Structure 1
Amino acid sequence: MLGSKIAWDDTVLPFQLDASDIRGRVARLDGVLDEVLSKHNYPPEIEALVAEAALLTAMIGQTIKLRWKLSIQIRGDGPARLIATDYYAPTADGEPAQIRGYASYDAERLEQGVDPFTQIGRGYFAILIDQGQGNVPYQGITPIAGGSLAACAETYFAQSEQLPTRFRVAFGKSTLAGEAETWRGGGIMLQKMPKASPSVLNAEGGDEDGLVRANDILTEDEIDSWNRANFHLDTVDDMELIGPRIQATELLVRLFHEDQPRVFDPQQVAFGCNCSEDRVRQSLSIYSSRDIAHMTTDEGQVVADCQFCGARYELDPSTVGFEADDDGAQD
C-alpha cells in the first residue's frame, strides 16, 4: 500500500472511456498542494479556494497541448479578491509539470465558517494560455456562478470551448501513521471528446442566467452516455478521491468499468516557481532613478517578495531601473 501511495501522489493520470467517447483526468496532489498552501498563512476559507483552484489547474493544464503556461485567475469583489494558479508544461520528456498558486484577500471582510465560494462575490473566472515567446496569449472568461470553482470551470468549457465537462474535487489535511499532518487533494475531470465542428445546439443559451451548460451542447445520442458517466462519478467519496490507499487505476475501474476505461502515461507534477532576480530586475527596468528612490527602504535596498513562493530579493538601488549604474550591477 505504501508503494501505491508513493506512485500516485503528485500525478495527473489521463484516461479515456472508450464506450462513451469521454476523456478525463485523475489528479492526486500531495506534496504539491502542501507546498502551495504552506508558503502562506491563509485562513481556512482562502486555503479551500486555493486548494480547489490548484486541483482544477492540474487537470486542465494536462489536457492542453501546452508549450509554456496555463493560468487560472479568479477575481471578485468579495473578501477573496484574487485566486491565481499557474501550470508550467514539462520542459522535457520525463520531467514534471510545475504548479504554483497564491491568493489576495481582505482579512477584515472575510467571514469565518461560511462557504468559501461565497467570499469571492461577483466577478469572473478566467483561463489564460500562454504558449511562450512569439505567440499571442489566449484568454477565456466566464462569470462567477454555480456555487463552486469547479462549476465555474464547467461553465467555462461549455460556454467558451463548447465541450461538456464535469469536475469532482476533494481536499483536506491528512495524517498518516507516524507522519506529520499534510495537505492532500484529489479530483476527477470528465470531458466529452471534441467534435470536428462543434456547435451550440441551443442557440438561445441554457439557464436563466444565459450561460451555456453541458446539456445544451449534447445531442440526444450523447446525453445518455454522458449522464451515465456523471451518475457513476457522483458515487465517488472524498476519501477515494484524495487517497492515498486506493490507486487511481483502481478508482477508474470501480467507477467506470461499464465504459471501458483506458489509461495513458501519468504526468508527474511538482511545486515550482519561475521567479528570479533577473525577472525582478527586468520588471524594475521601466522605472527612473527617482522612482527607484521612492522604492528604497531605510536600509538602502529595493526589496521584492514573490507572491507565489515567498522568495525575497534585496537589490542595490543603483543597479536597477533604466538609469542603473551598469558598473555597479552584479554579474
Structure 2
Amino acid sequence: MADSALGFSIPGRNARGRVVRIGPALEEVLEAHAYPEPLAHLLAEALVLAALLGSTLKEAGGQLTIQAQTKNGVVELLVADYKRGELRGYLRHDADRFAEAPADPSLFALFGQGYLAITFDQAITGERYQGIVPLEGGSLAEAAEHYFVQSEQIPSLLRIAVAQDDAGRWTAGGILLQHLPEGEEGRERIHVRLDHPEWEDVRMLGETVTEEELANPDLEMDALIWRLFHDEGEIRVLPQTPLGKGCRCDPVHIRQVVGQFSAEEHSEMADSDGIIRVNCEFCAKSFPIEVSDL
C-alpha cells in the first residue's frame, strides 16, 4: 500500500515499532499549497511524524496534532494532524525572511527559537494530553525525540526521510522504535536505569536504516522490518493501517458558524460583492457565502 502505517513488536527485546510511508496522500497535500521545496520538505516530515504517532491511537475517533511555532522565524506556524487514518497539514511563513534564508536551511534557520507541541485528544473520554518541548536538533525528527525523552520518558528512536524523484513526485517515510515501559507501581522505570542492553541492540539495528530505504516506494514496509531485525527470534507484525489525505472542513458547518454573527458583522466580513469568503488553511479551498442568503 502506497499510503499506510505498519506496526510491529519484538517480544524478545521488549520493543515495539511503527513504519510509515506516504506518497499519493503527500502529493495531494503539497499540491494544494505550492510551497517552496524546503518548506514542502518540512511539512512532509511533519505529516510522517503525525502518521507515526497518530496511528498508535487505540480509540478510532482520537486525534493527534503536531504544532511547531515561533515568533521570529521564517516559518511562523506548522500544523499537521491525524484522525481515522486521514492526514492534513499546512504552514505559514514569512516570504521576505525565506528569501534571505540559506538554500538548504536548517531547522534553526527556519524557526529560530521555537517550540514543538504534540497533542493527543481522546475520543471517548474527551481527555487531552499535550507535551511541549523546544525545537532543538537538526530536524523535526530530532526535536520529536526530545519530546519522548522529556514527556513520555520512553527510550525512543525516530527517523524520517523525504525524497522527490526526477518527475517531481514526493515520497516520505519514517520509523519509530520504542522500548516498552515495564510498569509504574513497585517497579523501576526503564529510563532511570544506567543500562538496558536489550534496547541498545534494537536501537543500534534501527540506526542502520537509510533515508533511501525509508522513502523508497518500491521497498515493502514488512521487507524493511525484516531487513533490519531478521536476526531476532520473533517479530510480530500488525495489520496495515491505510492512510490518506483528508480535510474536515464542512460547508454546512461553516455556514452555520457564520450565520451566528450579527447582520452588522456580516456586512463587515463581506466583500464589495456582498460575499463572505471563508478560507480553509488545510485544503486551501475558499467557501463563498452570500450575505443575502444568511
Q: Where does 1:36-51 land on structure 2 (aligned, <5 Å)?
A: 36-51=29-44
Q: Pick the aligned partner of 1:100 from 88, 92, 103.
A: 88
The answer for the alignment partner of 1:287 in structure 2 is 261
CA contact (8 A) 2:106 2:138 kept: no
Q: Is 1:25 aligned to 2:18, yes or no?
A: yes
Q: Is 1:191 aligned to 2:191, yes or no?
A: no
Q: Residue type of the partner of 2:96?
A: E
SS at match of 1:299: coil
Residues in 2 aligned to 1:278 and 1:182: alpha-carbon distance in whole angstroms = 34
Q: Where does 1:55-74 land on structure 2 (aligned, <5 Å)?
A: 55-66=48-59, 67-74=61-68
Q: Where does 1:22-171 land on structure 2 (aligned, <5 Å)?
A: 22-66=15-59, 67-77=61-71, 78-89=73-84, 97-110=85-98, 111-118=101-108, 119-132=110-123, 135-171=126-162
Cα offsets for 1:268-308 (capped at 9, x unmatched): 00100010112323443553222221111112100011111
Residues in 2 aligned to 1:198 and 1:47: alpha-carbon distance in whole angstroms = 45
SS at match of 1:109: helix
Query: Per-residue deviation at 1:133?
Result: 7.8
- Segments of 5+ residues of structure 1 without an aligned counterpart are 1-6, 90-96, 203-215, 319-327
Query: Per-residue deviation at 1:219?
Result: 2.5
Residues in 2 aligned to 1:152 and 1:218: alpha-carbon distance in whole angstroms = 21
CA contact (8 A) 1:45 1:112 kept: no
Residues 42, 198 of structure 1: alpha-carbon distance in 2 compared, 3 angstrom cutoff: farther
Residues in 1 aligned to 2:225 and 2:127: alpha-carbon distance in whole angstroms = 37
Identity of paired residues, percent? Answer: 34
CA contact (8 A) 1:25 1:188 kept: yes
Q: Residue type of the partner of 2:249?
A: C
Residues in 2 aligned to 1:257 and 1:26: alpha-carbon distance in whole angstroms = 16
SS at match of 1:142: strand
SS at match of 1:280: helix
Which TM-score applies when normalising by structure 1?
0.81
Query: Per-residue deviation at 1:139?
Result: 2.1
Cα offsets for 1:101-124 (capped at 9, x unmatched): 000100100114133412111121
Q: Pick the aligned partner of 1:236 from 189, 205, 209.
A: 209
CA contact (8 A) 1:36 1:100 kept: yes
Q: Residue type of the partner of 1:249?
A: D
Residues in 1 aligned to 2:275 and 2:222: alpha-carbon distance in whole angstroms = 53
Query: Per-residue deviation at 1:82?
Result: 0.8
CA contact (8 A) 1:164 1:218 kept: no
Q: Where does 1:196-207 land on structure 2 (aligned, <5 Å)?
A: 196-197=183-184
Query: Per-residue deviation at 1:160?
Result: 1.2
CA contact (8 A) 1:46 1:116 kept: no
Q: Residue type of the partner of 1:235?
A: T
How many matched pairs? Answer: 288
Which TM-score applies when normalising by structure 2?
0.90
Cα offsets for 1:21-75 (capped at 9, x unmatched): 1101010101111111111011122111101100000010011223231111010
SS at match of 2:97: coil
Q: Residue type of the partner of 1:40?
A: H
Q: Where does 1:238-317 land on structure 2 (aligned, <5 Å)?
A: 238-259=211-232, 260-285=234-259, 287-317=261-291
Query: Per-residue deviation at 1:234?
Result: 2.0
Residues 306, 245 of structure 1: alpha-carbon distance in 2 compared, 3 angstrom cutoff: same
CA contact (8 A) 1:128 1:139 kept: yes
Residues 146, 25 of structure 1: alpha-carbon distance in 2 compared, 3 angstrom cutoff: same
Residues 198, 37 of structure 1: alpha-carbon distance in 2 compared, 3 angstrom cutoff: farther
Residues in 2 aligned to 1:62 and 1:19: alpha-carbon distance in whole angstroms = 23
SS at match of 1:63: coil
User: Please, which moves more after superposition, 12-21 or 252-261?
Assistant: 252-261
Cα offsets for 1:134-183 (capped at 9, x unmatched): 714332211111222111211112211121221111112125xxxx5411
Q: Pick the aligned partner of 2:199 from 219, 226, 249.
A: 226
Residues in 2 aligned to 1:30 and 1:191: alpha-carbon distance in whole angstroms = 25
